[in-house]
Structure 1
Protein backbone atom coordinates (compact mmCIF):
# COMPACT_ATOMS: atom_id res chain seq x y z
CA UNK A 1 0.00 0.00 0.00
CA UNK A 2 1.13 3.55 -0.70
CA UNK A 3 2.36 4.87 2.65
CA UNK A 4 1.08 8.35 1.81
CA UNK A 5 -2.53 7.17 1.41
CA UNK A 6 -4.53 6.83 4.64
CA UNK A 7 -6.87 3.93 3.76
CA UNK A 8 -6.07 0.31 2.96
CA UNK A 9 -9.69 -0.42 1.94
CA UNK A 10 -12.32 1.72 0.24
CA UNK A 11 -15.86 0.36 -0.06
CA UNK A 12 -18.57 1.59 -2.37
CA UNK A 13 -22.32 1.38 -2.59
CA UNK A 14 -23.43 0.29 -6.06
CA UNK A 15 -26.66 1.94 -7.26
CA UNK A 16 -26.30 5.71 -7.28
CA UNK A 17 -22.66 5.59 -6.23
CA UNK A 18 -20.58 3.49 -8.63
CA UNK A 19 -23.25 3.01 -11.27
CA UNK A 20 -26.15 5.04 -12.64
CA UNK A 21 -28.63 2.17 -12.72
CA UNK A 22 -31.70 4.42 -12.58
CA UNK A 23 -32.83 3.81 -16.17
CA UNK A 24 -32.83 0.03 -15.86
CA UNK A 25 -34.34 0.04 -12.37
CA UNK A 26 -37.11 2.40 -13.45
CA UNK A 27 -37.86 0.13 -16.41
CA UNK A 28 -38.14 -2.87 -14.06
CA UNK A 29 -40.41 -0.99 -11.64
CA UNK A 30 -42.61 0.13 -14.52
CA UNK A 31 -42.79 -3.41 -15.91
CA UNK A 32 -44.23 -4.53 -12.58
CA UNK A 33 -46.55 -1.53 -12.24
CA UNK A 34 -48.00 -1.66 -15.75
CA UNK A 35 -48.52 -5.42 -15.50
CA UNK A 36 -51.31 -4.69 -13.01
CA UNK A 37 -52.66 -1.61 -14.77
CA UNK A 38 -50.75 0.99 -12.80
CA UNK A 39 -49.33 4.08 -14.52
CA UNK A 40 -45.62 4.12 -15.29
CA UNK A 41 -43.33 6.42 -13.29
CA UNK A 42 -40.57 8.62 -14.68
CA UNK A 43 -36.93 7.86 -13.98
CA UNK A 44 -36.84 11.02 -11.85
CA UNK A 45 -39.72 9.68 -9.74
CA UNK A 46 -38.09 6.27 -9.26
CA UNK A 47 -34.57 7.55 -8.52
CA UNK A 48 -35.20 8.55 -4.85
CA UNK A 49 -36.91 5.16 -4.27
CA UNK A 50 -33.62 3.32 -4.92
CA UNK A 51 -31.28 2.24 -2.15
CA UNK A 52 -33.24 0.05 0.23
CA UNK A 53 -33.45 -3.01 -2.01
CA UNK A 54 -35.90 -4.14 -4.70
CA UNK A 55 -38.87 -4.77 -2.41
CA UNK A 56 -38.55 -1.37 -0.75
CA UNK A 57 -38.28 0.33 -4.15
CA UNK A 58 -41.31 -1.51 -5.51
CA UNK A 59 -43.36 -0.83 -2.39
CA UNK A 60 -42.75 2.89 -2.84
CA UNK A 61 -43.71 2.64 -6.50
CA UNK A 62 -46.93 0.86 -5.59
CA UNK A 63 -47.64 3.39 -2.83
CA UNK A 64 -47.21 6.23 -5.34
CA UNK A 65 -49.76 4.63 -7.66
CA UNK A 66 -52.40 3.47 -5.21
CA UNK A 67 -50.89 1.12 -2.62
CA UNK A 68 -50.84 -2.69 -2.42
CA UNK A 69 -51.06 -5.70 -0.13
CA UNK A 70 -48.06 -7.78 0.95
CA UNK A 71 -49.36 -10.60 -1.23
CA UNK A 72 -49.43 -8.36 -4.29
CA UNK A 73 -45.96 -7.16 -3.43
CA UNK A 74 -44.69 -10.75 -3.31
CA UNK A 75 -45.95 -11.46 -6.83
CA UNK A 76 -44.80 -8.17 -8.33
CA UNK A 77 -41.37 -8.30 -6.69
CA UNK A 78 -40.68 -11.58 -8.52
CA UNK A 79 -41.92 -9.99 -11.74
CA UNK A 80 -39.68 -6.97 -11.22
CA UNK A 81 -36.60 -9.06 -10.44
CA UNK A 82 -37.08 -11.37 -13.42
CA UNK A 83 -37.41 -8.41 -15.78
CA UNK A 84 -34.43 -6.62 -14.25
CA UNK A 85 -32.21 -9.70 -14.47
CA UNK A 86 -33.05 -10.03 -18.18
CA UNK A 87 -32.33 -6.34 -18.88
CA UNK A 88 -29.73 -5.59 -16.23
CA UNK A 89 -27.33 -3.33 -18.11
CA UNK A 90 -29.29 -1.92 -21.04
CA UNK A 91 -28.85 1.66 -19.81
CA UNK A 92 -26.53 1.30 -16.82
CA UNK A 93 -23.11 3.00 -16.86
CA UNK A 94 -20.48 4.03 -14.29
CA UNK A 95 -20.77 7.64 -13.16
CA UNK A 96 -18.35 10.10 -14.81
CA UNK A 97 -14.85 9.79 -13.42
CA UNK A 98 -15.64 6.59 -11.53
CA UNK A 99 -13.32 4.25 -13.41
CA UNK A 100 -10.42 6.70 -13.27
CA UNK A 101 -10.88 7.00 -9.49
CA UNK A 102 -10.91 3.21 -9.11
CA UNK A 103 -7.74 2.99 -11.21
CA UNK A 104 -6.11 5.62 -9.00
CA UNK A 105 -7.00 3.73 -5.83
CA UNK A 106 -5.85 0.39 -7.23
CA UNK A 107 -2.57 2.00 -8.28
CA UNK A 108 -2.05 3.03 -4.66
CA UNK A 109 -2.49 -0.57 -3.52
CA UNK A 110 -5.96 0.06 -2.04
CA UNK A 111 -8.36 -2.89 -1.87
CA UNK A 112 -11.79 -2.11 -3.30
CA UNK A 113 -15.18 -3.53 -2.33
CA UNK A 114 -18.88 -3.20 -3.09
CA UNK A 115 -21.51 -3.25 -0.33
CA UNK A 116 -25.02 -2.89 -1.71
CA UNK A 117 -28.60 -3.66 -0.73
CA UNK A 118 -29.10 -5.15 -4.19
CA UNK A 119 -29.26 -8.96 -4.11
CA UNK A 120 -25.72 -10.26 -4.38
CA UNK A 121 -26.30 -12.28 -7.55
CA UNK A 122 -27.78 -9.22 -9.28
CA UNK A 123 -24.89 -7.04 -8.11
CA UNK A 124 -22.46 -9.54 -9.58
CA UNK A 125 -24.46 -9.79 -12.81
CA UNK A 126 -24.47 -6.05 -13.46
CA UNK A 127 -20.77 -5.76 -12.60
CA UNK A 128 -20.05 -8.74 -14.88
CA UNK A 129 -22.02 -7.13 -17.70
CA UNK A 130 -19.88 -3.99 -17.40
CA UNK A 131 -16.63 -6.00 -16.98
CA UNK A 132 -16.01 -4.51 -13.53
CA UNK A 133 -16.19 -7.53 -11.22
CA UNK A 134 -12.45 -8.21 -11.18
CA UNK A 135 -11.76 -4.75 -9.77
CA UNK A 136 -13.26 -5.66 -6.38
CA UNK A 137 -11.84 -7.84 -3.62
CA UNK A 138 -15.26 -8.28 -2.02
CA UNK A 139 -18.86 -7.95 -3.25
CA UNK A 140 -21.53 -8.05 -0.55
CA UNK A 141 -25.24 -7.85 -1.35
CA UNK A 142 -28.32 -7.15 0.68
CA UNK A 143 -28.89 -10.88 1.19
CA UNK A 144 -25.27 -11.94 1.73
CA UNK A 145 -25.30 -11.65 5.51
CA UNK A 146 -28.80 -13.06 5.97
CA UNK A 147 -32.23 -11.54 6.72
CA UNK A 148 -32.19 -8.16 8.46
CA UNK A 149 -28.42 -7.77 8.19
CA UNK A 150 -28.15 -5.51 5.14
CA UNK A 151 -27.52 -1.77 5.36
CA UNK A 152 -28.18 0.21 7.59
CA UNK A 153 -26.92 -2.59 9.87
CA UNK A 154 -23.13 -2.48 10.26
CA UNK A 155 -22.77 -6.20 9.45
CA UNK A 156 -22.03 -5.99 5.71
CA UNK A 157 -19.48 -3.20 6.14
CA UNK A 158 -17.72 -5.10 8.93
CA UNK A 159 -17.69 -8.17 6.67
CA UNK A 160 -16.23 -6.04 3.87
CA UNK A 161 -13.28 -5.02 6.04
CA UNK A 162 -12.71 -8.61 7.13
CA UNK A 163 -12.91 -10.03 3.60
CA UNK A 164 -10.45 -7.40 2.37
CA UNK A 165 -7.90 -8.43 4.99
CA UNK A 166 -8.52 -5.77 7.63
CA UNK A 167 -6.97 -2.36 8.13
CA UNK A 168 -8.06 1.26 7.82
CA UNK A 169 -11.15 1.70 5.66
CA UNK A 170 -13.56 4.31 4.33
CA UNK A 171 -16.92 4.04 2.59
CA UNK A 172 -18.50 5.91 -0.32
CA UNK A 173 -22.29 6.04 -0.76
CA UNK A 174 -25.33 8.13 -1.55
CA UNK A 175 -27.98 7.22 1.03
CA UNK A 176 -28.70 7.33 4.73
CA UNK A 177 -28.42 3.51 4.67
CA UNK A 178 -24.79 3.86 3.56
CA UNK A 179 -23.93 6.48 6.14
CA UNK A 180 -25.58 4.69 9.05
CA UNK A 181 -24.11 1.30 8.15
CA UNK A 182 -20.55 2.52 7.66
CA UNK A 183 -20.53 4.82 10.69
CA UNK A 184 -21.96 2.03 12.88
CA UNK A 185 -19.00 -0.04 11.69
CA UNK A 186 -16.63 2.79 12.65
CA UNK A 187 -15.81 4.00 9.13
CA UNK A 188 -15.83 7.56 7.75
CA UNK A 189 -18.23 8.12 4.85
CA UNK A 190 -18.02 10.16 1.66
CA UNK A 191 -21.45 10.98 0.24
CA UNK A 192 -22.05 11.50 -3.50
CA UNK A 193 -24.26 14.47 -4.33
CA UNK A 194 -24.90 12.98 -7.80
CA UNK A 195 -26.49 9.81 -6.36
CA UNK A 196 -30.08 8.70 -5.90
CA UNK A 197 -30.72 11.02 -2.99
CA UNK A 198 -33.79 10.60 -0.82
CA UNK A 199 -32.94 13.78 1.09
CA UNK A 200 -30.50 16.69 0.72
CA UNK A 201 -26.97 15.32 0.71
CA UNK A 202 -25.92 17.71 3.48
CA UNK A 203 -28.40 16.08 5.86
CA UNK A 204 -27.04 12.53 5.46
CA UNK A 205 -24.42 13.06 8.16
CA UNK A 206 -21.44 11.95 6.09
CA UNK A 207 -17.96 13.19 6.95
CA UNK A 208 -17.54 14.62 3.44
CA UNK A 209 -19.48 15.23 0.21
CA UNK A 210 -18.24 15.01 -3.37
CA UNK A 211 -19.93 16.38 -6.49
CA UNK A 212 -17.78 14.39 -8.95
CA UNK A 213 -15.40 11.44 -8.77
CA UNK A 214 -12.49 13.78 -9.54
CA UNK A 215 -12.86 14.92 -5.92
CA UNK A 216 -12.71 11.47 -4.32
CA UNK A 217 -8.96 10.93 -3.87
CA UNK A 218 -8.19 14.36 -2.35
CA UNK A 219 -11.28 14.01 -0.14
CA UNK A 220 -10.11 10.64 1.20
CA UNK A 221 -6.63 12.06 1.81
CA UNK A 222 -8.18 14.95 3.75
CA UNK A 223 -10.37 12.59 5.81
CA UNK A 224 -7.37 10.44 6.65
CA UNK A 225 -5.36 13.47 7.73
CA UNK A 226 -8.22 14.69 9.93
CA UNK A 227 -8.47 11.30 11.61
Structure 2
Protein backbone atom coordinates (compact mmCIF):
# COMPACT_ATOMS: atom_id res chain seq x y z
CA UNK A 1 0.00 0.00 0.00
CA UNK A 2 3.03 2.27 -0.32
CA UNK A 3 2.89 3.00 3.40
CA UNK A 4 -0.68 4.32 3.44
CA UNK A 5 -2.08 3.54 6.91
CA UNK A 6 -5.52 2.24 5.90
CA UNK A 7 -6.37 -0.75 3.75
CA UNK A 8 -9.96 0.37 3.27
CA UNK A 9 -11.93 3.58 3.63
CA UNK A 10 -15.70 3.48 4.07
CA UNK A 11 -17.93 6.42 3.21
CA UNK A 12 -21.39 7.60 4.06
CA UNK A 13 -23.28 8.59 0.90
CA UNK A 14 -25.83 11.42 1.27
CA UNK A 15 -24.14 14.61 2.44
CA UNK A 16 -20.73 12.96 2.31
CA UNK A 17 -19.88 11.74 -1.18
CA UNK A 18 -22.79 13.49 -2.86
CA UNK A 19 -25.00 16.51 -2.34
CA UNK A 20 -28.37 14.79 -2.72
CA UNK A 21 -30.38 17.44 -0.88
CA UNK A 22 -32.09 18.93 -3.97
CA UNK A 23 -33.59 15.61 -5.06
CA UNK A 24 -34.47 14.51 -1.53
CA UNK A 25 -36.16 17.88 -0.97
CA UNK A 26 -38.13 17.53 -4.19
CA UNK A 27 -39.30 14.02 -3.25
CA UNK A 28 -40.24 15.06 0.27
CA UNK A 29 -42.14 18.12 -0.86
CA UNK A 30 -43.92 16.17 -3.60
CA UNK A 31 -45.09 13.74 -0.92
CA UNK A 32 -46.11 16.48 1.51
CA UNK A 33 -48.13 18.35 -1.10
CA UNK A 34 -49.81 15.10 -2.16
CA UNK A 35 -50.85 14.65 1.48
CA UNK A 36 -52.20 18.19 1.70
CA UNK A 37 -49.20 19.64 3.54
CA UNK A 38 -47.08 22.71 2.92
CA UNK A 39 -43.63 22.18 1.38
CA UNK A 40 -40.47 22.62 3.45
CA UNK A 41 -37.49 24.82 2.57
CA UNK A 42 -34.50 22.96 1.21
CA UNK A 43 -32.12 24.18 3.91
CA UNK A 44 -34.36 22.67 6.60
CA UNK A 45 -34.52 19.35 4.73
CA UNK A 46 -30.71 19.12 4.69
CA UNK A 47 -30.76 18.77 8.46
CA UNK A 48 -33.41 16.02 8.37
CA UNK A 49 -31.37 13.60 6.23
CA UNK A 50 -29.28 10.73 7.58
CA UNK A 51 -31.63 8.07 8.90
CA UNK A 52 -33.14 6.81 5.66
CA UNK A 53 -36.08 7.74 3.44
CA UNK A 54 -38.83 6.70 5.83
CA UNK A 55 -37.32 8.70 8.67
CA UNK A 56 -36.94 11.72 6.38
CA UNK A 57 -40.62 11.51 5.47
CA UNK A 58 -41.57 11.10 9.13
CA UNK A 59 -39.61 14.21 10.05
CA UNK A 60 -41.17 16.17 7.21
CA UNK A 61 -44.66 15.11 8.26
CA UNK A 62 -43.98 15.94 11.90
CA UNK A 63 -42.77 19.39 10.87
CA UNK A 64 -45.96 20.08 8.95
CA UNK A 65 -48.61 18.51 11.20
CA UNK A 66 -49.42 14.86 11.82
CA UNK A 67 -46.31 12.67 11.80
CA UNK A 68 -48.08 9.45 12.79
CA UNK A 69 -47.04 6.05 11.48
CA UNK A 70 -50.30 5.92 9.55
CA UNK A 71 -49.41 9.11 7.70
CA UNK A 72 -45.89 7.83 7.04
CA UNK A 73 -47.36 4.60 5.66
CA UNK A 74 -49.65 6.65 3.40
CA UNK A 75 -46.89 8.90 2.14
CA UNK A 76 -44.00 6.47 1.78
CA UNK A 77 -45.09 4.90 -1.56
CA UNK A 78 -45.59 8.41 -2.94
CA UNK A 79 -42.10 9.44 -1.79
CA UNK A 80 -40.45 6.30 -3.15
CA UNK A 81 -42.09 6.44 -6.58
CA UNK A 82 -41.10 10.07 -7.08
CA UNK A 83 -37.58 9.69 -5.69
CA UNK A 84 -36.77 6.60 -7.74
CA UNK A 85 -37.82 8.49 -10.87
CA UNK A 86 -35.80 11.61 -9.97
CA UNK A 87 -32.95 10.25 -7.83
CA UNK A 88 -30.18 12.14 -9.61
CA UNK A 89 -31.90 15.02 -11.41
CA UNK A 90 -29.79 17.48 -9.43
CA UNK A 91 -27.64 15.33 -7.11
CA UNK A 92 -23.91 15.48 -7.75
CA UNK A 93 -20.61 14.61 -6.16
CA UNK A 94 -19.17 17.25 -3.89
CA UNK A 95 -16.21 19.19 -5.33
CA UNK A 96 -13.00 17.23 -4.85
CA UNK A 97 -14.64 13.82 -4.35
CA UNK A 98 -13.47 12.34 -7.64
CA UNK A 99 -9.86 13.38 -7.05
CA UNK A 100 -9.90 12.05 -3.47
CA UNK A 101 -11.32 8.68 -4.50
CA UNK A 102 -8.77 8.39 -7.31
CA UNK A 103 -5.94 9.25 -4.91
CA UNK A 104 -7.06 6.55 -2.48
CA UNK A 105 -7.30 4.03 -5.30
CA UNK A 106 -3.78 4.96 -6.36
CA UNK A 107 -2.66 4.08 -2.83
CA UNK A 108 -4.23 0.63 -3.21
CA UNK A 109 -7.08 1.44 -0.81
CA UNK A 110 -10.40 -0.39 -1.18
CA UNK A 111 -13.46 1.88 -1.14
CA UNK A 112 -16.83 1.01 0.40
CA UNK A 113 -20.11 2.69 1.30
CA UNK A 114 -22.10 2.41 4.53
CA UNK A 115 -25.34 4.41 4.39
CA UNK A 116 -28.78 4.42 5.95
CA UNK A 117 -30.24 4.91 2.47
CA UNK A 118 -32.04 1.78 1.29
CA UNK A 119 -29.48 -0.37 -0.52
CA UNK A 120 -31.45 -0.38 -3.77
CA UNK A 121 -31.67 3.42 -3.78
CA UNK A 122 -27.99 3.70 -2.90
CA UNK A 123 -27.00 1.47 -5.80
CA UNK A 124 -29.30 3.37 -8.15
CA UNK A 125 -27.73 6.67 -7.11
CA UNK A 126 -24.20 5.28 -7.36
CA UNK A 127 -24.89 4.11 -10.91
CA UNK A 128 -26.44 7.47 -11.85
CA UNK A 129 -23.31 9.24 -10.59
CA UNK A 130 -21.08 7.01 -12.73
CA UNK A 131 -19.61 5.05 -9.81
CA UNK A 132 -20.98 1.60 -10.55
CA UNK A 133 -18.33 -1.03 -9.75
CA UNK A 134 -16.10 1.46 -7.96
CA UNK A 135 -16.96 0.37 -4.42
CA UNK A 136 -16.06 -3.00 -2.99
CA UNK A 137 -19.21 -2.97 -0.85
CA UNK A 138 -22.45 -1.03 -0.58
CA UNK A 139 -24.16 -1.56 2.77
CA UNK A 140 -27.53 0.17 2.98
CA UNK A 141 -30.03 0.79 5.72
CA UNK A 142 -31.88 -2.43 4.90
CA UNK A 143 -28.89 -4.65 4.03
CA UNK A 144 -28.72 -5.98 7.60
CA UNK A 145 -31.29 -6.26 10.34
CA UNK A 146 -29.77 -3.14 11.96
CA UNK A 147 -28.58 0.20 10.62
CA UNK A 148 -26.21 2.98 11.70
CA UNK A 149 -25.38 3.94 14.44
CA UNK A 150 -25.22 0.21 15.17
CA UNK A 151 -21.65 -0.74 14.27
CA UNK A 152 -22.62 -3.92 12.40
CA UNK A 153 -23.13 -2.25 8.98
CA UNK A 154 -19.75 -0.56 9.19
CA UNK A 155 -18.08 -3.82 10.22
CA UNK A 156 -19.80 -5.53 7.29
CA UNK A 157 -18.58 -2.89 4.84
CA UNK A 158 -15.01 -3.19 6.10
CA UNK A 159 -15.09 -6.99 5.89
CA UNK A 160 -16.50 -6.90 2.35
CA UNK A 161 -13.76 -4.46 1.35
CA UNK A 162 -11.10 -6.93 2.49
CA UNK A 163 -10.70 -6.11 6.18
CA UNK A 164 -7.57 -4.70 7.73
CA UNK A 165 -7.06 -1.19 9.08
CA UNK A 166 -10.01 0.98 8.04
CA UNK A 167 -11.37 4.48 8.48
CA UNK A 168 -14.87 5.91 8.10
CA UNK A 169 -15.78 9.22 6.47
CA UNK A 170 -19.16 10.84 7.19
CA UNK A 171 -21.00 14.06 7.88
CA UNK A 172 -23.37 13.45 10.80
CA UNK A 173 -23.59 12.43 14.43
CA UNK A 174 -24.96 9.10 13.21
CA UNK A 175 -21.69 8.54 11.37
CA UNK A 176 -19.39 9.52 14.19
CA UNK A 177 -21.37 7.42 16.69
CA UNK A 178 -21.19 4.46 14.30
CA UNK A 179 -17.43 4.80 13.96
CA UNK A 180 -16.99 5.11 17.71
CA UNK A 181 -19.12 2.03 18.36
CA UNK A 182 -17.12 0.11 15.75
CA UNK A 183 -13.76 1.26 17.11
CA UNK A 184 -12.87 2.82 13.76
CA UNK A 185 -11.20 6.23 13.22
CA UNK A 186 -13.57 8.80 11.74
CA UNK A 187 -13.15 11.84 9.52
CA UNK A 188 -16.15 14.18 9.37
CA UNK A 189 -16.96 16.83 6.80
CA UNK A 190 -17.93 20.31 7.91
CA UNK A 191 -20.27 20.90 4.96
CA UNK A 192 -22.63 17.91 4.89
CA UNK A 193 -26.14 17.39 6.27
CA UNK A 194 -25.38 17.54 9.98
CA UNK A 195 -28.16 18.57 12.38
CA UNK A 196 -25.63 20.27 14.67
CA UNK A 197 -22.43 22.32 14.36
CA UNK A 198 -19.71 20.07 12.89
CA UNK A 199 -17.41 20.78 15.81
CA UNK A 200 -19.90 18.91 18.00
CA UNK A 201 -19.77 15.69 15.99
CA UNK A 202 -16.84 14.28 17.93
CA UNK A 203 -14.90 13.13 14.86
CA UNK A 204 -11.21 12.30 15.08
CA UNK A 205 -10.58 14.77 12.27
CA UNK A 206 -12.82 17.46 10.77
CA UNK A 207 -12.14 18.65 7.22
CA UNK A 208 -13.57 21.56 5.23
CA UNK A 209 -12.86 20.21 1.74
CA UNK A 210 -12.20 16.86 0.12
CA UNK A 211 -8.66 18.00 -0.73
CA UNK A 212 -7.88 17.58 2.96
CA UNK A 213 -9.01 13.94 3.20
CA UNK A 214 -5.76 12.10 2.50
CA UNK A 215 -3.67 14.33 4.78
CA UNK A 216 -6.28 13.80 7.53
CA UNK A 217 -6.19 10.03 7.05
CA UNK A 218 -2.39 9.99 7.14
CA UNK A 219 -2.46 12.03 10.34
CA UNK A 220 -4.84 9.48 11.85
CA UNK A 221 -2.84 6.53 10.68
CA UNK A 222 -0.03 6.19 13.21
CA UNK A 223 -1.77 3.56 15.31
CA UNK A 224 -3.89 2.19 12.48
CA UNK A 225 -0.86 1.01 10.56
CA UNK A 226 -0.31 -1.59 13.25
CA UNK A 227 -3.93 -2.86 13.10
Give the TM-score category using the shorter length: over 0.9
Find the aligned partners of 1:194 and 1:100 in 2 and give their Cα distance: 18
After TM superposition, the score normalised by the length of structure 1 is 0.96
Find the aligned partners of 2:201 and 2:140 in 1 and give their Cα distance: 22
Cα deviation, residue 42, structure 1: 1.4
Greater alpha carbon shift after TM alignment, 50-59 vs 63-72: 63-72
Q: Give CA deviations for 1:138-187 in whole Å, capped at 9, x if unaligned.
A: 001000012xx100000000101111111000000011111111221110
Query: Partner residue of 1:224?
Result: 221
The answer to whether residue 119 in structure 2 is matched with residue 131 in structure 1 is: no
Find the aligned partners of 1:37 and 1:72 in 2 and give their Cα distance: 11
Query: Partner residue of 2:45?
Result: 46
Cα deviation, residue 137, structure 1: 0.5
Gaps of 5+ in 2: none
The equivalences for 1:9-20 within 5 A come to 9-20=8-19
Query: Partner residue of 1:97?
Result: 96
Find the aligned partners of 1:79 and 1:65 in 2 and give their Cα distance: 17
Cα deviation, residue 17, structure 1: 0.1
Deviating 4+ runs (over 6 angstroms)? none
* Corresponding residue pairs, total: 224
Find the aligned partners of 1:63 and 1:69 in 2 and give their Cα distance: 8
2:182 maps to which of 179, 182, 185? 185
Find the aligned partners of 1:157 and 1:130 in 2 and give their Cα distance: 22
The answer to whether residue 164 in structure 2 is matched with residue 167 in structure 1 is: yes
Query: Partner residue of 1:21?
Result: 20
The answer to whether residue 151 in structure 2 is matched with residue 154 in structure 1 is: yes
Find the aligned partners of 2:106 and 2:196 in 1 and give their Cα distance: 34
The answer to whether residue 203 in structure 2 is matched with residue 206 in structure 1 is: yes
Find the aligned partners of 1:74 and 1:5 in 2 and give their Cα distance: 47
- Contact preservation (8 Å) 2:190, 2:206: yes
Find the aligned partners of 1:67 and 1:188 in 2 and give their Cα distance: 39
Cα deviation, residue 68, structure 1: 2.6
The answer to whether residue 179 in structure 2 is matched with residue 176 in structure 1 is: no
